[in-house]
């Protein structure tokens, strides 16, 4: 890597991400803020694998990165040599991270003098390497403050709760969080004997090693939780490093393709707040049966829609997580027979991908059926669009609980007792409620308020801007810049 003389004089920070788009995006935006707003030189370190997604490659090879932001790749990992077909998502990720650790020390040493290293939440082994090299290390938590609170509490819960969490008679409670119904818990929490749970506990138990924890949220969005984290005796006893909400950090709007422009032109012809946007992001998939029920429910609602359809899978909802952007074939062949013809006057069906940010910011978009990944959640909030929560994997069910019960901008479809699918009648009900009901209007008002608070948080004098500025000044003072 060649560094210009100008960049060599700036304080240098390394940012370390795991190879998942939901993590790379906010960490990359955080890096851009340090470079553009605070005049840092940032080396963005990312794991490379033999199965890197097309979306990841496209993002990291962007020609529009600001001068001073360099992408640095670890030596590539042969995924097949370190993973097995039966590994679950989190275990697979953590095994790849473990393999990359072998080269971390040499990579950091080659970068020269570093003021700090900012570490992804699933790369906490890097704390040991940074300690050995005498480099201050910070954690970047890519999810909500509530989820950070839960993660910090997990080692205590692990000691105090006997047996399995899923056998508890009441919702799980931790300071600063709404009670989490047992069925909404993050999948690895449902079996404490599996490797996924052990990895989750391992990383959570090391968060206290951070000099500080950056979070992709803002104080006003999660004020109750932030107050608990800074004032509740529980978090002082752990102890908890300083928590720095610096969000919302979301991906900038990419250039539009000719097809994207066609989608937006269709939206231009629709009434304000009248269109439901259905998109489960690039890493999530539905079963064939659930896709059928979802399509029928959308049709029965008689509401306008943009429906992003991906090829279904009956294996795992996260089956496409590591191959995001690589969809092939025609997923629309999996829709109910006649769906396209019957709905052509009020709906638009899009194969695989649509320009999410551009659709969400369009005034005709009145609701978003989303998997509740945190990046998509932030995108919908800053555009003032209410949610139908359709979580698929990871912490998305817990996010859905937060958004519906604490933040008040989402509604969760109900699955009938004894059934595994959200039925078409329930889909019809929630779609009507959000687009054409009083509940939807209430949620739209609430998201409008949060949209304003997000903008203020990022302004000079706002909570998120000032939190990062304080940290930047501290790093600069340490480097005598």
Whether a cis peptide bond, with omega within 30° of 0, leads into 248 is yes
Cβ 184 vs Cβ 397: under 8 Å = yes
Helix H, strand E, coil C: the string for the chain is CCCCHHHHCCCEEEEEECCCHHHHHHHHHHHHHHHHHHCCEEEEEECCECCCCHHHHHHHCCCCCCCCEEEEECCCECHHHHCCCCCCHHHHHHHHHHHHHHHHHHHHHHCCCCCEEEEECCCCCHHHHHHHCCCCEEEEECCCHHHHHHHHHHHHHHHHCCCCHHHCCCCECCCCCCCECHHHCCHHHHCCCCHHHHHHHHHHCCHHHCCCEEECCCCCCCHHHHHHHHHCHHHHHCCCCCEEECCCCCCCCCCCCHHHHHHHHHHHCCCCCCEEEECCCCCCCCCHHHHHHHHHHHHHHCCEEEEEECCCCCCCCCCCHHHCCCCCCCHHHHCCCCHHHHHCCCEEEEECCCCHHHHHHCCCEEEEEECCCHHHHHHHHHCCCCEEECCCCCCHHHHHHHHHHHHCCEECCCCCCCCCCCCHHHHHHHHHHHHHCHHHHHHHHHHHHHHHHHHHHHCCCCHHHHHHHHHHHHHHHHCCC
Q: What is the mean pLDDT of residues 111-132?
A: 96
Q: Pull the structure tokens for residue 93.
A: 């990720």
Cα 405 to Cα 412: distance, rounded to the nearest angstrom: 10
Cβ 159 vs Cβ 208: under 8 Å = no
Do 347 and 332 have their domain in common?
yes
Higher pLDDT, 119 or 255: 119
Per-residue pLDDT band at 297 (split at 50, 70, 90)? very high
Cα 460 to Cα 323: distance, rounded to the nearest angstrom: 38
pLDDT of residue 207: 97
pLDDT of residue 83: 84
Between 114-123, 306-315, 385-394, the lowest mean confidence (pLDDT) is in 306-315
Per-residue pLDDT band at 52 (split at 50, 70, 90)? low
Give the phi and the psi of residue 309 in degrees, each rounded to 5: -110, 130
Measured CA distances, 475 to 114, 469, 472 (Å): 10, 10, 5
Question: Whose structure tokens read 């006893």?
Answer: 237
* pLDDT above 60: residue 154: yes
Higher pLDDT, 31 or 76: 31
**What confidence tens digit (pLDDT) does each residue in 175-203 have?**
888 888 888 888 899 999 999 999 999 99
pLDDT of residue 251: 86
Do 39 and 60 have their domain in common?
yes
* pLDDT above 60: residue 479: no
Do 135 and 280 have their domain in common?
no
Question: Whose structure tokens read 């990062």?
Answer: 468
Do 276 and 414 have their domain in common?
yes
Q: Pull the structure tokens for residue 273.
A: 């707040």
Whether a cis peptide bond, with omega within 30° of 0, leads into 239 is yes
Cα 170 to Cα 91: distance, rounded to the nearest angstrom: 28
pLDDT of residue 433: 96
Do 440 and 468 have their domain in common?
no
> What is the tally of structural domains in the chain?
2
pLDDT of residue 412: 94
- The pLDDT mean for the chain works out to 90
Higher pLDDT, 272 or 253: 272
**What confidence tens digit (pLDDT) does each residue in 344-363 have?**
999 999 998 899 999 999 99
Q: Which of 23, 3, 210, 250 is nearest to 116 (CA)?
A: 210
Do 314 and 424 have their domain in common?
yes
Q: What is the mean pLDDT of residues 378-382?
A: 95
Task: Residue 62: count other Cβ atoms within 10 Å of its Cβ.
Answer: 12
Do 229 and 90 have their domain in common?
yes
Between 55-59, 111-115, 259-263, the lowest mean confidence (pLDDT) is in 55-59
Do 240 and 375 have their domain in common?
no
pLDDT of residue 321: 46
Do 116 and 236 have their domain in common?
yes
In terms of residue numbers, what domain contains 73? 5-251+459-478
Which residues have a catalytic role annotated?
23, 120
Higher pLDDT, 51 or 305: 305
Per-residue pLDDT band at 5 (split at 50, 70, 90)? low
Task: Residue 461: count other Cβ atoms within 10 Å of its Cβ.
Answer: 9
* pLDDT above 50: residue 97: yes
Do 115 and 236 have their domain in common?
yes
Do 96 and 237 have their domain in common?
yes
Per-residue pLDDT band at 76 (split at 50, 70, 90)? confident
pLDDT of residue 50: 66
Q: Pull the structure tokens for residue 258.
A: 């000719």
Do 340 and 235 have their domain in common?
no
Q: What is the mean pLDDT of residues 65-70?
A: 93
Higher pLDDT, 317 or 207: 207
pLDDT of residue 481: 45
pLDDT of residue 403: 92
Higher pLDDT, 388 or 318: 388
The domain that contains 330 carries what CATH number?
A: 3.40.50.2000
pLDDT of residue 80: 82
Give the phi and the psi of residue 142 in degrees, each rounded to 5: -80, -5
């Amino acid at each position: 890597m060649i560094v210009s003389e100008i960049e060599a004089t700036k304080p240098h920070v390394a940012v370390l991400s795991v190879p998942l788009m939901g993590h790379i995006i906010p960490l990359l935006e955080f890096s851009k803020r340090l470079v553009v707003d605070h005049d840092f030189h940032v080396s963005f370190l990312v794991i490379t694998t033999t199965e890197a997604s097309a979306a990841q490659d496209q993002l990291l090879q962007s020609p529009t990165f600001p001068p001073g932001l360099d992408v640095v790749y670890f030596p590539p990992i042969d995924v097949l040599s370190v993973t097995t077909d039966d590994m679950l998502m989190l275990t697979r990720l953590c095994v790849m991270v473990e393999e990359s650790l072998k080269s971390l020390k040499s990579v950091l040493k080659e970068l020269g003098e570093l003021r700090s290293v900012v570490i992804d939440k699933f790369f906490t082994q890097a704390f040991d390497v940074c300690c050995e090299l005498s480099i201050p290390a910070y954690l970047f938590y890519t999810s909500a403050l509530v989820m950070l609170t839960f993660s910090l509490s997990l080692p205590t819960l692990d000691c105090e709760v006997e047996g399995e969490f899923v056998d508890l008679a009441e919702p799980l409670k931790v300071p600063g969080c709404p009670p989490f119904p047992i069925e909404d818990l993050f999948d690895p929490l449902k079996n404490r004997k599996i490797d996924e749970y052990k990895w989750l506990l391992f990383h959570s138990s090391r968060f206290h090693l951070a000099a500080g924890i950056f979070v992709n949220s803002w104080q006003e969005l999660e004020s109750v939780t932030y107050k608990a984290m800074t004032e509740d005796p529980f978090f002082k006893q752990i102890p908890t490093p300083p928590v720095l909400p610096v969000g919302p950090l979301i991906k900038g709007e990419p250039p539009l393709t000719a097809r994207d422009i066609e989608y937006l032109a269709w939206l231009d012809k629709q009434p304000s707040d009248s269109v439901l946007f259905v998109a489960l992001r690039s890493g999530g998939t539905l079963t064939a049966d659930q896709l059928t029920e979802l399509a029928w429910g959308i049709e029965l609602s008689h509401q306008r829609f943009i429906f992003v359809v991906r090829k279904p899978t009956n294996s795992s909802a996260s089956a496409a997580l590591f191959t995001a952007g690589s969809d092939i074939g025609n997923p629309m062949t999996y829709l109910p027979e006649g769906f396209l013809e019957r709905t052509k006057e009020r709906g638009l069906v899009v194969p695989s991908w649509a320009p999410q940010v551009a659709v969400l910011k369009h005034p005709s978009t009145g609701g978003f059926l989303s998997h509740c990944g945190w990046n998509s959640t932030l995108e919908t909030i800053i555009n003032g669009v209410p949610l139908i929560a359709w979580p698929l994997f990871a912490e998305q069910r817990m996010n859905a609980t937060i958004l519906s019960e604490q933040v008040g901008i989402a509604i969760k479809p109900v699955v009938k007792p004894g059934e595994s699918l959200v039925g078409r009648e329930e889909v019809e009900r929630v779609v009507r409620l959000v687009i054409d009901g009083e509940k939807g209007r209430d949620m739209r008002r609430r998201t409008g308020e949060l949209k304003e608070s997000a903008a203020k948080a990022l302004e000079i004098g706002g909570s998120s801007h000032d939190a990062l500025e304080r940290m930047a000044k501290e790093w600069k003072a340490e480097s005598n810049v």
